[in-house]
Amino acid sequence: MNEVGIPLLSCLIAWPLLSAMVLGFVHSRQLAKYLAIIVAAIELLLTLIVVYRFNPQNETLQLVEQYRWIELLNIHFEVGIDGISVWFLPCSALLILMLMLSAWNAVQYFRRLHFALLLALEGILMGVFCATDMILFFLFWELTLPAIFFLIGLWGIGPQRRGAALKYILFMLFGSVPLLFAIIMLAINHVTQVGGSIPQDLAFSFPVLLLTPVEDSLQPMIFLCLLLGFAVKAPLVPFHTWLPTVSMEAPTQMTALLIGLKLGLYGILRYAMTLAPSAAVQYSWVLGVFGAVTLIYGAFIALQQSNLRRLLAYASISHAGLVVIGITSLTMQGIQGALLQLLSFTLVTSSLVLIAGFIQNRLGSTDIVHLGGLAKVMPKLSVFYFLFTFASIGMPGGSSFPAEFLLMLGALTAHPSLGITALVGALMCAAYSLSFARRAFLGQIVHKGVAQLQDLRPREFALLCIPALLVLLLGFFPDVILESHRVTAEAWLSRLVNQPIFNVTE
Amino acid sequence: MDSLSIFIPLLPLSAAIILGIGQLFGWLNGEKTEPFTASLSLTALTLSTLLAISLLIAEQYGKTDGSYLAGTWFSSEVLTVSLNFITTGFALHTAVPCALLLLVSMLFSVTHLHREAGYHRFFFVFNLFSAAILLFLLSGNMLITFIGWQISGVCAYLIIAYAYDQPIAAFNATRVFMTNRLGDASFLLGIGLSYTWIGSINWSDLNQSIVDLALNEATTLALCFATAAFAKSAQLPFSPWLTRSMEGPTASSAAFFGAVFVHSGVFLTIALRSVFEQSAIAMTVLLVIGTLTALYGLIVGLTQTDIKSAIGFAIITQLGLIFMECGLGFWQLAAWHSVIHASIRAYQLLTAQGFIQQTQGITASLIPSRLAKIRWGYVASLQRFWLDPITDWTLVNPVLQLGKDLSYFDDHIVNAVMGAPAPAMNALATLAQLEEHQTGTPSDTEPDVFARGSGFAGKLAEGTSVILQWIEERLMLRGIHEDAILGGRHIGNIANRIEQLLLRPRYLALFVFITLLAVF
């Protein structure tokens, strides 16, 4: 499959991890910063090469690599990408690069450690998206925790940062237990299906597990466990309370990552729906209702928020609900919209959080009581803020518009009431975004401190130009993304909708 | 020939993009660059007007095909969103006067806004608006039409918030945008339903297959688009936004809210005449809403004391009449009425500032004395029939209150149940020490309390032990005592509070809404 023979995906995972270690030995702090940026830029290039090498017409896993790892339990180091995961790679690489640039001067101490941790996190994220062995996936999934824990705990901007870091870890561990449980259940189910014995016939490989029929009695249990694991990370109501806390306490670049990168939704899409397909179809409406509740609940609370970072956290919860509604519609529009929305969401919301970070760096607060009339003193920042805000409420021109339209269409064809809920959610989204924008950016300057604020510096300006351009480009040409995952999405959907019926007809 | 149609919206759009980038990078700023901005905008809009006119002429001589397919925007399964344009009939005939009116308003603004701080911004928005409206008029596809519709709404927001440092302007802009957004949601629902029922989102397919639809489906579709049109054209109950929109500069009031913007709802209705004609209910709704709005505009207009508000209510009245004509089936009349009305309003608003001088010495004609004696009518007129307070009371406040309640619920109940580790400093002593060591600021180093539970499981264990301890101490050891009575009272209070909350109309409405959704 890989003609040249370069293990591209392994490189993708190993390069930032190794560089992170090397970074520890660099003595000059300044040099470390530049090195980190260069490493992240090369990583971005590598991910783009992966995208270039990816063949969208092929629905199977591509660029597959398989190495022996834990022979005894039949666990392999197995990586590969398909249409669902391919765009997440450049997206997260770009995001990490943006985070580094935004944290350029904001990080005051342990600079080397900070950049090294970010790089390590990047490698781990690549692992999460590339891994096709469930145990390997789980390993990377869990490895994100220590990196994020230290990033929040050490460089957080809130007084409760360590508490927030702990809260994050505990929540995630709470989700991991059922996830691991589900993975083990799947592996054991494989043993019973092939009539083999433990441990020789255990299977953790994702493609193998996809082909293994799962007993009907086990399906709901597996689906529920996987869902629980991913719902915490997504986050879906009521497992969302870590996100607002973390968004207030964590450094803004980490908030941008946690709010922007929707690992949980990726997990639901990739694993929860496909590994227990009949339960997923059967209970898709329950999940849809969950999504709808999350959508409306998040939006209502966002309406009451006075702090931009907290508002964005709830907005992100609300948007996660919308994506879930799309996934559970089990239509092509829903799934394609969901995938597009996940990418677009990363760009738009992360940029908004970074903007919040710029305000925070200057003013020491993103709360409405300290703002007001920002547009007068920071016209450039305000332009970007409004651009991304309009994009996030699904205005045409932005990348969210085609995504939200597809999501809404999918939901409307599958469950009309969920479609209408999605529309109500879109309305609420405009309400909370614009009412905050009105109070913070428009109107008169009330505080002296605001009047002396400096507009975007060239570095920040250039940094925001990239996502702005991408958001507009994706908004004008969404077909680039839609076309690249069409075949995979079709396969995904047909697997769920046209699944053979096991153990029922007998 | 037809392929020219794509350039009609594209030219102002390009101008807008250039102006936008120029301002963002600081190249267009101040008085020196004003001529560039003005000439670029005027050239773009003049060219697209000329294109529209030449298309019109070509159509008269039968040289056009009536439609032009520029390509596919995106597709998903059977859904294909194509970029196609209508180059004939009502769409083209409306596009020409619209472009002309926009051009006139733009010419006016070149001098009117001279040396204004937001000169370049205004022209950016104006170009974007022109592109949006022309796209809206000419598109042969619901989604692209919707894009034009939506972008014009964004432009309205930006133009009303032109003097953005005035809180009232910002507030009005937000309010107008939200009102329009209600209509947008309805439009989007219409698109979604038409895709579900017809399988296409092209206007021509809708107009053809509407006859095959069941009556209730046709009615639902028509009502969706009608609601969208009502919101955009300031019909009841959305009317109050129009007077709020007069906040922007005069030229924009003329182009947006006098001439073009408010008529887009009318245009949508007339373009969908075949859909409306399928359903008697939808026609009746058009008639009733149109009539009521006309009366509303008339009565409220009588007591207005400033020129822009007076014109605003006159616009509402005329728009109501146009919808009335649509409801009665006089489509041709409605089309003519709207074009003529748009032209007159544009003229009137552009000259509004000189109006006082022009009419000096002319006394306004008084209303009939019989009408003047109706005191409650006067109050109602002055209060504009309390439409804004009613909206606040029925929609805005309940939503905000619900947000407040949920916020409280989230902070105090969900968060507490899911576990929030409080002893941050203590539990993470190592991390804290590391940081203190680095920053050199020793903080309070209380002894670690590792025994304290945190998170869900921890709290659960801690809570169980506390409860058992409580039961042991209070109930077992002391027996039922006064504490029990107090506790009972406390529980009763909480239950009362919950019940009171649930009895609030907002929850009742919410439950009804959820029930409806579940049934649907």
Per residue in A334-347, pLDDT tens?
A: 999 999 999 999 99
The vertex-B192 CA angle with B186 and B195, nearest 5°, equals: 140
Q: What is the DSSP letter of A368?
A: G
Beta-carbon separation of B174 and A435 below 8 A: yes
Token pair, residue A161, equals 């940062």
Read off the pLDDT of residues A6-42 as tens digits, 9 standing for 90 and up: 788 999 999 999 999 988 788 887 888 899 999 999 9
CA A308: distance to chain centroid?
20
Whether residue B30 lies within 8 A of chain A, CB to CB, comes out as no
Binary contact (A300, B427; C-beta < 8 A): no
Asked if B189 lies within 8 A of A412 by C-beta distance, the reply is yes
CB proximity list for A291: less than 8 A, separation 6 or greater:
A236, A320, A321, A322, A323, A324, A325, A327, A328, A418
* Nearest Cα residue to B38 out of B106, B100, B101: B106
Within-domain flag for A349: yes
Question: What pLDDT sits at residue B477?
Answer: 57
The DSSP string of B485-503 is: HHHHHHHHHHHHHHHHHHH
Task: Determine, yes or no, domain membership for A314.
Answer: yes
Residue type (1 letter), A31: L
* Among the partner residues A153, A166, A297, nearest to B421 by beta-carbon distance: A166
The 8-class DSSP code of residue B447 comes to P
- DSSP label of A65: E
- CB within 8 Å: A163 and B455: no
Helix (H, G, I), strand (E, B) or coil at B62: coil
- Which of B19, B158, B184, B410 is the best residue to mutate to test the A interface, defined by the most A CB atoms within 10 Å of its own CB? B410
How do the residues of chain B divide into helix, strand and coil, expressed in percent and rounded to 5? 75, 5, 20
- Could you tell me if residue A362 is inside a domain? yes
For residue A431, the one-letter residue type is A
- Tokens at residue A440, please? 């913070």
Per-residue pLDDT tens over the stretch A285-323: 889 999 999 999 999 999 989 999 999 999 999 999 999
Are residues A153 and B431, on separate chains, in Cβ contact within 8 Å?
yes
**Domain residue limits at A366:** 283-494
The SS3 call for residue B35 is helix
Mean pLDDT on A373-384: 91
Q: Rounded to 5 degrees, what angle do the CA atoms A232, A233, A234 make? A: 95
User: Is the bond preceding residue A238 a cis peptide, omega within 30 degrees?
Assistant: yes
Which of B262, B55, B66, B54 has its CA nearest to residue B153? B262
Is B418 in contact with A239 (Cβ distance < 8 A)? Answer: yes
What average pLDDT is seen over chain A?
89
- Which of A22-31, A235-244, A264-273 has the lowest average pLDDT? A22-31
The residue type at A315? A
List the one residue out of A280, A131, A132 whose CA is nearest residue A206.
A132
**β-pair partners for A79:** A65, A131
Dig out the tokens for A352 from the structure: 């908004």
Q: Are A171 and A180 within 8 A, CB to CB? A: no
Please report, for residues A241, A385, A441, B19, B185, the alpha-carbon distance to residue B414 in angstroms, rounded to integers and kept in the order given.
Answer: 7, 31, 32, 48, 31
- The string of DSSP codes covering A125-164 is HHHHHHB-BHHHHHHHHHHHHHHHHHHHHHH-SSTTHHHH
Angle formed by the axes of helices A88-102 and A29-53, nearest 10°:
160
Is the CB of B185 less than 8 angstroms away from the CB of A423? yes
Please report the DSSP string for A418-478 in residue order: HHHHHHHHHHHHHHHHHHHHHHHTSS----HHHHT-----HHHHHHHHHHHHHHHHHHH-T
**Residues 219 to 248 of B: which have CB under 8 A from any A CB?**
none
Residues A473-496 have pLDDT tens digits of 999 999 989 988 899 999 889 888
| Chain B 67-126, residues with CB within 8 Å of chain A CB atoms | 72-77, 79
| Per-residue pLDDT tens over the stretch B274-298 | 999 988 999 999 999 999 999 999 9
Residues 6+ apart with CB under 8 A from B33: B22, B27, B120
Within a domain: A214: no
What pLDDT is recorded for position B270?
92
Residue A23 lies in a domain: no
**Number of neighbours of residue A24 by Cβ within 10 angstroms:** 10
Q: What are phi and psi of B80, to 5 degrees?
A: -125, 120
- Give the mutation candidate from A173, A301, A457 for the B interface (greatest B CB count, under 10 A): A301
pTM given for the model = 0.89
- Output the furthest CA–CA distance in chain A (Å, rounded): 77
> What pLDDT is recorded for position B439?
63
Q: Reduce the DSSP state of residue A69 to 3 states and report it.
A: strand
Structure tokens at A1: 């499959």
Contact criterion met (CB below 8 Å) for A438 and B218: no
Nearest by Cα to A348 from A476, A258, A468, A474: A468
Q: Is there a domain that residue A303 lies in?
A: yes
Residues 142-171 of B with CB under 8 A from A: 143, 146-147, 150-151, 154, 157, 161, 164-167, 169-171
Q: Does any CB of chain A come closer than 8 Å to the CB of residue B192? A: yes
Is residue A432 within 8 Å of A305, Cβ to Cβ? yes
Distance CA A214, CA B168 (A): 62
Answer yes or no: do A300 and B407 touch at CB < 8 A.
yes
Interface pTM, i.e. ipTM: 0.90
Instruction: Please tell me the distance from the alpha carbon of residue B188 to that of residue B182, in angstroms, as a whole number.
Output: 10
Which two three-digit tokens encode residue B301? Answer: 């207009």
Task: Provide CB contacts within 8 A for A428, sequence distance 6+.
Answer: A296, A299, A300, A302, A303, A318, B399
| Domain count for chain A | 1
- Considering only CB atoms, A376 lies closest to which of B165, B171, B419, namely B165
The answer to the question of residue A450 being in a domain is yes
Does A179 map to a domain?
A: no
pLDDT at B451: 39
- Is B169 close to A412, i.e. CB distance below 8 A? no
- Residue A303 to residue B403, Cβ atoms within 8 A: yes
Which residues neighbour A275 within 8 Å (Cβ) at sequence distance 6 or greater?
A182, A186, A209, A210, A214, A222, A223, A226
DSSP character string of B344-397: HHHHHHHTGGGHHHHTTTPPPPPPPHHHHT-HHHHHHHHTGGGHHHHHIIIIIH
Distance CA A255, CA A244 (A): 9
Q: Residue holding tokens 């809260």?
A: A167
- Report which of residues B248 and A167 the model is more confident about: A167
Question: For residues A376, A379, A381 and A385, what is the CA-based torsion angle, rounded to 10 degrees?
Answer: 80
CB pairs under 8 A between A and B: 192
**B425 vs A contacts (CB less than 8 Å):** 162-163
Closest residue by Cα to residue B176 from B156, B162, B147, B149: B156
Cβ contacts of A135 within 8 Å, gap of 6 or more: A70, A73, A75, A183, A204
User: Measured between alpha carbons, how far is B16 from B4 in angstroms, rounded to an integer?
Assistant: 19
Residue B408 tokens, joined: 């409280």
Residues of chain B with pLDDT under 50: 421-427, 444-451
The confidence score (pLDDT) of residue B368 equals: 74
pLDDT of residue B507: 76
Q: How many CA atoms lie within 13 A of B453 on its CB side?
A: 15
B170/A443 Cβ within 8 A: yes
